[in-house]
């Protein structure tokens, strides 16, 4: 089977959860099928570097992304005048759609894979089946969360965007042969949007070496957050943590420090480095050593969707976690067993202090978390995905072939 794989964002380097998920599922498809990937190239990276890890998996078609002027035109024309989602309009690429049409019209592709909603908007003009839509997130729910946090005109605009995203997601889920959701919760959200679509859960995974306990249990009071620091939910999380939670922790554990690790920290995140015992590290080549040296991983998320890769990663590396409920959404980890869960600043700080002062409890949480994370190993998830494609997609191909012959 030949697969046409469309992605707005090129899945390399593996410097955030979205790229890792895209790369691992592309890798799984390439194990069984011939894949051609059409993607935008990143202006900040040489094409040769981007192709380093992907060239062995797929034939690569690089498309120049829309210019800023072109993106603003699409926002004004499609998003404002035509009432479509601003997010979808911003990332709409006539060049990508044109190339996808040219490739699909050759008749050599039996399956089209749409990565993210911004490429899935090409499903209708391509008129292609079967098609797989990997959602990554339920964007309409994320927009609803933004609307709830906003006030005045911003709240009105976010509610309007949430409705437009819901309409776009409902159409894509209904017309796709299969939609991939990152969690049971997001599967339920998509099911409410479309009762006719087939939805399968493939959570985000980890490549962390959970066969070896990496965590060193050094009693240093080091707290760690790992995530892409240009992603708004992560930015909100670390700012909230520094303002509302860290001072409460340091009142009881004065030596406590906080490391923020992740690419592209925004200006608001960089300003946190002015606080005492807070380091904004930026991108690192390997996060495992940071987890090894930390006493706790903190996940103070208050918004966002998907499966929490940072939680699974920390567990697999043996680092105990304190998280909000939102921070572990999409995984069925149990409070007091696999981690500590707290949503309010005082409760979050108390949970962190309790673990910082109790090394035996940290070891217990670490062992339970590592065992729990084994289910999120990418090799296992890739096997699950390959099985879903074989059982869910290939039979539809055989049925369509029989219909053509008759």
Residue whose token pair is 């490549």: 207
Whether residue 214 lies inside any domain: the answer is no
Look up residue 403 and give its two tokens: 């219909």
| Confidence category of residue 73, pLDDT binned at 50, 70, 90 | low
Q: Give exposure, 67-83, as e/b (b: 16+ Cβ within 10 Å).
A: eeeebeebbeebbeeee
Q: Are both 240 and 122 inside the same structural domain?
A: no
> In Å, what is the CA distance from 352 to each residue of 39, 45, 218?
42, 39, 15
Percentage of the chain beyond pLDDT 90 is 72
Whether residue 217 lies inside any domain: the answer is no
Q: Are both 23 and 37 inside the same structural domain?
A: yes
Q: Which residues span the domain enclosing 157?
A: 2-205+378-405
Look up residue 203 and give its two tokens: 């959570």
In degrees rounded to 5, what are phi and psi of residue 231? -100, 120
| CATH number for the domain harbouring residue 58 | 3.40.50.2000
Q: Are both 161 and 255 inside the same structural domain?
A: no
Q: Taking residues 290-304, what's their average pLDDT?
A: 93
Look up residue 67 and give its two tokens: 């210019």
| Tens digit of each residue's pLDDT (9 = 90 or more) over 366-391 | 999 999 999 999 999 999 999 999 98
Q: Are both 107 and 243 inside the same structural domain?
A: no
| Tens digit of each residue's pLDDT (9 = 90 or more) over 226-258 | 999 999 999 999 999 999 999 999 999 999 999
Whether residue 177 lies inside any domain: the answer is yes
Q: Are both 269 and 172 inside the same structural domain?
A: no
Q: Are both 387 and 315 inside the same structural domain?
A: no
Enter the pTM of the model: 0.86
In degrees rounded to 5, what are phi and psi of residue 226? -125, 130
Task: Count the Cβ atoms, other than its own, within 10 Å of residue 173.
Answer: 23
Whether residue 38 lies inside any domain: the answer is yes
Q: Are both 383 and 366 inside the same structural domain?
A: no
Inter-residue contact 29 to 113 (CB < 8 Å): yes
Q: Are both 349 and 388 inside the same structural domain?
A: no
Q: Are both 265 and 281 inside the same structural domain?
A: yes
Whether residue 316 lies inside any domain: the answer is yes
Q: How many domains does the chain have?
A: 2
Whether residue 167 lies inside any domain: the answer is yes
**pLDDT of 404:** 46
What CA–CA distance (Å, rounded) separates 365 from 355? 9
Whether residue 213 lies inside any domain: the answer is no
Whether residue 210 lies inside any domain: the answer is no
Q: Are both 139 and 192 inside the same structural domain?
A: yes
Q: Are both 308 and 266 inside the same structural domain?
A: yes
């Amino acid at each position: 089977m030949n697969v046409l794989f469309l992605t707005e964002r090129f899945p390399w380097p593996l410097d955030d959860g979205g790229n890792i998920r895209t790369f691992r599922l592309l890798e799984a498809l390439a194990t069984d099928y011939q894949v051609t990937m059409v993607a935008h190239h990143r202006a900040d990276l040489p094409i040769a570097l981007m192709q380093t890890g992907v060239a062995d998996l797929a034939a690569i078609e690089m498309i120049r992304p829309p210019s800023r002027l072109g993106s603003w035109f699409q926002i004004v024309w499609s998003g404002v005048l035509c009432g479509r989602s601003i997010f979808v309009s911003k990332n709409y690429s006539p060049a990508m759609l044109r190339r996808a049409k040219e490739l699909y019209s050759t008749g050599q592709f039996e399956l089209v894979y749409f990565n993210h909603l911004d490429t899935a908007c090409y499903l209708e003009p391509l008129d292609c089946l079967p098609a797989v839509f990997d959602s990554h997130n339920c964007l309409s729910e994320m927009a609803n969360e933004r609307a709830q946090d906003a006030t005045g005109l911003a709240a009105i605009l976010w509610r309007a965007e949430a409705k437009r995203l819901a309409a776009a997601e409902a159409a894509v889920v209904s017309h796709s042969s299969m939609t991939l959701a990152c969690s049971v919760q997001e599967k339920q959200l998509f099911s409410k949007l479309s009762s006719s679509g087939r939805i399968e859960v493939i959570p985000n995974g980890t490549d962390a070496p959970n066969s070896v306990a990496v965590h060193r249990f050094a009693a240093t009071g080091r707290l760690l957050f790992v995530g892409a620091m240009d992603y708004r939910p992560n930015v909100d999380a670390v700012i909230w943590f520094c303002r509302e939670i860290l001072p409460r922790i340091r009142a009881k554990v004065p030596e406590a420090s906080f490391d923020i690790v992740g690419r592209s920290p925004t200006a608001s995140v960089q300003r946190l480095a002015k606080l005492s015992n807070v380091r904004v590290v930026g991108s690192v080549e390997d996060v495992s050593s940071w987890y090894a040296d930390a006493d706790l991983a903190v996940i103070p998320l208050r918004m966002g969707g998907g499966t929490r890769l940072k939680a699974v990663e920390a567990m697999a590396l043996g680092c105990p976690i304190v998280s909000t409920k939102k921070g572990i959404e999409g995984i069925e980890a149990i409070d007091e067993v696999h981690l500590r869960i707290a949503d309010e600043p005082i409760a979050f700080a108390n949970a962190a202090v309790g673990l910082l002062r109790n090394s035996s409890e940290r070891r217990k949480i670490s062992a339970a978390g590592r065992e729990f994370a084994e289910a999120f190993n990418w090799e296992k998830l890739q096997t699950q995905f390959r099985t879903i494609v074989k059982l869910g997609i290939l039979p539809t191909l055989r049925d369509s072939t029989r219909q053509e012959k008759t």
